[in-house]
């Protein structure tokens, strides 16, 4: 059974979308894959409770407990590996995980580390994507599911969604519409990876 580990920092709405897709589409039977754990860097992340209610193992590894990113990422990598139970390395899905990962962590999970970003990459990498899209006068915005590399938000694009930027949009209203599409394209991208054997 292929293990999937989801990393979150907050409410985990994309995590929930992934869990629901895995349940409704029976990823275990169809693709031999199961969501093994949800890990957060914040103990107060609301998504942890939701995952526990679904019977999914959860764990908190607080970044504030470590003196630097390298040591935090080392502990995180150990936790991720333990979720696989000694089997092949798990697929690691970033779902609102608000930490920039070190090159070492990225290299350890190369090809199996996926993220969803709230812009049409390569436009608007980093933070404040919706404010920046509106300020730039964009007529369209969207979201991107991509592989994670050592360069922030520059990995190979797996899926994208497009939404119009409306004349009366502010960052909050645009973000809500983009987030709704993230919930569609993230499970779709993972499903395609599982069908292709994670290639």
Catalytic residue among 63, 109, 117, 130: 117
How high is the pLDDT of residue 83?
84
- Helices vs. strands in the chain: H and E counts, helices first: 7, 7
117 labelled catalytic:
yes
Question: What tens-digit pLDDT sequence spans the chain (199 residues)?
Answer: 899 999 999 999 999 999 999 999 999 999 999 999 999 999 999 999 999 999 999 999 999 999 999 999 999 999 999 987 756 778 999 999 999 999 999 999 999 999 999 999 999 999 999 999 999 999 999 999 999 999 999 999 999 999 999 999 999 999 999 999 999 999 999 999 999 987 5
E strand segments, 25-156: 33-40, 57-60, 91-94, 113-117, 140-147
Domain count of the fold of the chain: 1
Which residue range forms the structural domain that includes residue 43?
Answer: 2-195
How high is the pLDDT of residue 197?
84
Other Cβ atoms less than 10 A from the Cβ of 129: the count is: 24
- The model scores a pTM over 0.85: yes
CATH number at residue 154: 3.40.50.170
Alpha-carbon gap, residue 128 to 131, rounded angstroms: 6
Alpha-carbon gap, residue 18 to 115, rounded angstroms: 12
How high is the pLDDT of residue 198?
73
> What DSSP state is assigned to residue 154?
-
């Amino acid at each position: 059974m292929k293990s999937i580990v989801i990393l979150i920092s907050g409410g985990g709405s994309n995590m929930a979308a992934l869990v629901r897709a895995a349940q409704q589409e029976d990823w275990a039977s169809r693709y031999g894959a199961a969501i093994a754990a949800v890990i957060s860097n914040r103990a107060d992340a609301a998504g942890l409770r939701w995952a526990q209610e679904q019977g999914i193992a959860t764990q908190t590894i607080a970044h504030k407990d470590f003196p630097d990113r390298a040591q935090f990422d080392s502990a995180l990598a150990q936790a991720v590996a333990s979720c696989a139970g000694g089997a092949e390395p798990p697929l690691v899905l970033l779902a609102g995980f608000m930490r920039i990962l070190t090159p070492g962590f990225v290299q350890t999970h190369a090809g199996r580390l996926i993220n969803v970003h709230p812009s049409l990459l390569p436009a608007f990498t980093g933070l404040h994507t919706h404010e920046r899209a509106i300020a730039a006068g964009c007529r369209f915005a969207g979201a991107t599911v991509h592989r994670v590399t050592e360069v922030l938000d520059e990995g190979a694009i797996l899926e994208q969604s497009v939404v119009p930027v409306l004349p009366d949009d502010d960052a909050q209203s645009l973000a809500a519409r983009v987030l709704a599409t993230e919930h569609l394209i993230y499970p779709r991208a993972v499903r395609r990876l599982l069908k292709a054997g994670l290639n």
